[in-house]
Copies of this chain bind each other. A is one copy, B any other.
């Protein structure tokens, strides 16, 4: 479900601008704004450092473009799911499904966002995040209705929203730690992430079953 067809790099005839962008993408994601160096990006792109400034004026601008691209890859997914007209149960299942799909395609994304958002919150919300970021009001109203109707256990809707996001995203940001603590090798962790979707969905629905 929700397996998008994202042209998985066709290195046919990549333009220089693209090569720079890709190199910057990889390094910014891996090392952050401060950790990634312009020379390093130039080397990885296989070009002269001056070209970075020719295409993207400054490091900050280059970073902004990369960060925006990353954010804008996720935002529409959220918006679509949060604002859909589907009934609550279906909505939750779809949300978990496409959220985990999204992260599995770009496992670095949550760490990148969390790091940069916490390190430079002002810059992040003023220059990178779109002004109209998806709001879960409709989702929250649906939760309130379901509670009122007794269809689900009484829960605080805001906490539920956070819980869902936490269950989806956290394993990816804590991956190295998990791997260490649970003692999993590469294969096992891969299997773990494969199971994750169903396990999370079942966990949430179980937590929402009405009492008695």
Contacts and interface: CB of A to CB of B under 8 A. Distances in A.
Contacts of A175: 118
Nearest to A112: B118
Interface in A12-31: 30-31
B171 A162 contact: yes
Contact of A34 (B35, B135, B207): B35
Interface in A119-134: 119, 121, 124-125, 129, 133-134
Interface of A is mostly: helix
A165 B96 CA distance: 18
Interface residues of A, number: 59
Interface string A147-166: 00000010110111111011
Interface in A140-193: 153, 155-156, 158-163, 165-167, 169-171, 173-178, 180-183, 192
Contact of A114 (B31, B114, B155, B208): B114
Contact of A113 (B156, B177, B204): B177
A49 to B, nearest CB: 19
A173 B32 contact: no
A152 to B, nearest CB: 10
A30 B171 CA distance: 23
Contact of A195 (B117, B124, B159, B206): B159
A30 B119 contact: yes
Given A165-B170, A206-B206, A206-B207, 19 more contacts: A31-B34, A32-B35, A32-B115, A32-B119, A111-B118, A121-B176, A124-B176, A134-B181, A136-B181, A155-B199, A158-B192, A159-B203, A160-B203, A161-B182, A162-B170, A166-B166, A166-B169, A167-B167, A169-B174
Nearest 9 pairs between A and B by C-beta? A166-B170, A207-B207, A34-B34, A34-B35, A159-B199, A206-B207, A115-B115, A166-B166, A170-B170
